[in-house]
Amino acid sequence: MRTQVAIIGGGPSGLLLAQLLHKRGIDSVVLERKTKDYVLSRIRAGVLEQGLVRLMEEAGCADRLHAEGHAHHGALIAYGDEMFRIDFSALTGTPVIVYGQTEVTRDLYAAREVAGGVIEFNVEDVTIHEADSDAPHVTYNVAGEARRIDCDFIAGCDGFHGVSRQAIPLSARREYEKVYPFGWLGILSETPPVNAELIYANSPRGFALCSMRNENLSRYYIQCSLSDRSEDWTDDAFWRELKRRIPSDQADRLVTGPSIEKSIAPLRSFVTEPMRWGRLFLCGDAAHIVPPTGAKGLNTAASDVRYLYTGLRQFYENGSTDGIDSYCAKALARVWKVERFSWWFSSLMHRYPDQSEFDLRIQVAELEFLRSNCAAQRAMAENYVGLPY
């Protein structure tokens, strides 16, 4: 098989890149290790920056997002029983949109199918060959049958555990990582959200987040030990703990119910450099991970897609290599700023096992400074709604 761009990974970043390329008449093939149903069963964050919304519009996939997404013009920060609001729209003129990542992926799959684009599911033993040459290709197996794709470029959108990053030689690759000493226990419940906007809570018992998917589907998280298992937590135990960590007036309003999904996610900050090796380009989690505080994972993948799509479009439309040659520098410059914000916000809101009394007082002072200082709020709002591409 021959294509212009081989895309490894059928999640939202790979699908978005494929659809944007299709709109410009650039051919691609998407390889996905799992089934479509499996990809759509993954529950992920659903806070979208306007940059991602604009990319969905450019891809022709934003109709349902606009019809069903919810504009959030601010978020609430709580510590103990104190709570204050960061007004995104007043500070930046821009809201964020709450729309589930699963729904983004569903919309992109629908567009790919309408376009007749090729997606290979259940692929195994994916191997990248000669990425640092002018003739890269990818081999893989489907149901025991060996297959090969020859291409001009390879986009590695296959996540932290994928093969793309590993295809860059260790001698040319450097990785930076911070592993956090706690996880997030999250549940999804068919209940109305406790508040119309997200609540990020710092409590003596640990972090909590009150989020939502829509008016009758809520997503809640609590900081937990890395040794915990989701099955160790009954629904009742989760709700009791959540109520202890959010302001009492919010706890009194909380509507509880059976969980329809429950899982624990570890937290990690991770960056690999470079994000390009010859004609192989890394996008999203294949190149970087952020803790979920602030919901930057999908949004940062989208900025990678924007830089790469622009470079590929310039190459095919006017023969310029400027965009693909500058991809790595542009993407990493933004990635590190996002990593800084996610690290800062996580440090502000969580309880760490080695925190001293001094550390705790500094944390409260930082929260109170954020509460009282417009410049600090503007800096947070600018990062939360999304730095420019």
Point out the residues that are catalytic.
72, 200, 292, 296, 384
Comparing CA positions, the residue from 348, 334, 357 lying closest to residue 376 is 348
How many angstroms separate the Cα of 95 from the Cα of each of 47, 71, 91, 345, 384? 10, 6, 10, 19, 9
Q: How far apart are CA 271 and CA 340, in angstroms?
A: 11
| Residue 266: cis peptide before it, omega within 30 degrees of 0 | no
Residues 287, 303: Cα–Cα separation, whole Å: 12
* Structural tokens at position 209: 């987040």
Q: Which of 351, 375, 381 is nearest to 363 (CA)?
A: 351
21: left (phi over 0), alpha (psi -120 to 50) or beta: alpha
Residue burial 66-101, b: 16+ Cβ < 10 Å; e: rest: eeebbebbbbbbbbeeebeebebeebbebbbbbbbb
CA distance 26 to 316: 8
Q: How far is it, in rounded angstroms, from Cα 202 to Cα 25?
A: 49
Name residue, tokens 């589907």. Answer: 217
For 317-342, give one letter per residue: b (16+ CB within 10 A) or e.
eeeeeebbeebbebbbebbeebbebb
Task: For residues 244 and 197, give the distance between their C-alpha atoms in angstroms, rounded to a whole number.
Answer: 19
Interatomic CA distance for residues 61 and 20, integer angstroms? 10
CA distance 360 to 262: 30
Residue with tokens 């542009």, as numbered in its chain: 330
